[in-house]
Amino acid sequence: MPDTVPKSSMDEKTPEAATPQAVQGAAPRVAKDRATAWNLLNEHTQSASLLKHALAVEVCVRAYGEKHAAELGLPPAEAREMVEMYAITGLLHDFDYEKHPSPEEHPWVGNQILTEQGWAEEIRHAILGHAEYTRTPRVSHLDRTLFACDELAGFLTANALVKPTKSILDVNAASVRKKMKDKAFARGVNRDDIITGAVELGVDLDQHIAFCLAAMQKHADVLGLAGTGAAVEQPG
Ligand SMILES: [Fe+2]
């Protein structure tokens, strides 16, 4: 949900090298690939913070897709296809938000565009399901994964941005749990959605936080959260 984008992260420059290296080389068997999704997102989104949010959710959802494919024991081609679908879903879940932020339009307008362009029903259903007010039941693992990762990715970003280094590499899961209890911190992030998301996905909340944190740390550069390399000097 767009509320997860920390306002303090606003950076009017589009992040450079915003395509994670690990998500290049898209599997061609998917009806629409990740590169096409990235282009579609950029056609509709100027905000750097919203692009970073899309990338953060993408890396978390992708990581769960990789885990799920391994658990299912899928052969490599099918596993790649599943992971691609998960990544695309994370990337596109808010792609219509900048132009159509109201609950009357988001994510309905986006869903209409995705339908017209022939994107997979599994992707579209998960995107509808990430907005509670659509009352779309979250049935599939992908549906539940997107919902579980959306608010948490925003919250983890907020945790990184309050570090002196502004680095996700300096965030640890224990401090994230503490911040969840601090109501004044990142008020826009719905804690209940984070907790509900983990329950729906059937994962322990601490493990869920650690899993998504690790996924974001792995792609810290792409997410613009690799930090300054040194603590930012505080005014005396
Ligand atoms: Fe979102």
Assign residue 134 the CATH number of its domain: 1.10.3210
Residue 127 in domain: yes
* Distance, CA of 188 to chain centre: 16
Residue 66: CB atoms within 10 A of its CB come to 18
* Per-residue pLDDT tens digits for 31-58: 589 999 999 999 999 999 999 999 999 9
Per-residue model confidence (pLDDT) at position 5? 46
The answer to whether residue 156 sits within a structural domain is yes
Tell me how far apart the alpha carbons of residues 190 and 154 are, in angstroms, rounded to a whole number.
Answer: 10
Number of domains the chain is built from: 1
Cβ atoms within 10 A of the Cβ of 228, count?
A: 12
Q: What distance in Å separates the CA atoms of residue 101 and residue 144, rounded to the nearest whole number?
A: 22
Tens-digit pLDDT profile for residues 121-157 = 999 999 999 999 999 999 999 999 999 999 999 999 9
pLDDT at 178 over 60: yes
Residue 17 lies in a domain: no
Asked if 84 contacts 28 with a C-beta cutoff of 8 angstroms, the reply is: no
Q: How far is the CA of 130 from the centre of ligand 1 (A)?
A: 8
At residue 229, the pLDDT reads 56
Q: Rg of the chain's alpha carbons, rounded to an integer? A: 17
Q: Residue 235 has what pLDDT?
A: 40
pLDDT for 30 beyond 50: no
- In the block, residue with structure tokens 């000097």: 233
User: What's the CA-to-centroid distance between 12 and ligand 1, angstroms?
Assistant: 18
Q: For residue 92, give every residue at least 6 positions away whose Cβ sits within 8 Å of its Cβ, in sequence order, or none.
A: 37, 40, 41, 54, 110, 114, 119, 123, 127
Instruction: Tell me, in angstroms, the distance from the centre of ligand 1 to residue 150's CA.
Output: 5
Is 226 a member of any domain? no
- Whole-number Å distance, alpha carbon 90 to ligand 1 midpoint, is 8
Instruction: Determine, yes or no, domain membership for 161.
Output: yes
The answer to whether residue 76 scores a pLDDT higher than 50 is yes
In this model, does residue 17 exceed pLDDT 80? no
30 Cα distance to chain centroid: 20
The per-residue pLDDT for range 80-132, each reduced to its tens digit, is: 999 999 999 999 999 999 999 999 999 999 999 999 999 999 999 999 999 99
What does the angle CA 94 – CA 139 – CA 151 come to, to the nearest 5 degrees? 35
The answer to whether residue 31 is domain-embedded is yes
Mean residue pLDDT across the chain: 87
pLDDT at 27 (0 to 100): 40
Q: Is the pLDDT of residue 209 over 70?
A: yes
Lowest mean pLDDT among 18-27, 86-95, 134-143, 167-176: 18-27
Residue whose C-alpha is closest to residue 86's, from 22, 137, 16: 22
Give 194 Cα–ligand 1 centroid separation in angstroms: 12
Q: How many Cα atoms within 13 Å fall on the side-chain side of residue 155? A: 31
Identify which has the larger pLDDT, 30 or 193.
193
Query: Residue 134 sits in which domain range?
Result: 26-218
> Is residue 191 in some structural domain?
yes
Measure 75 CA to ligand 1 centroid, in angstroms.
Answer: 31
Give the residues across from 167 on adjacent strands. 226
pLDDT of residue 125: 98
Q: Is residue 200 part of a domain?
A: yes
Cα of 48 to ligand 1 centre, how many Å? 14
Q: Please give the share of the chain, as a percent, with pLDDT higher than 70.
A: 83
Q: Do 24 and 174 form a contact (C-beta atoms < 8 A)?
A: no
pLDDT value at 9 more than 60: no
Q: How far is the CA of 124 from the centre of ligand 1 (A)?
A: 14
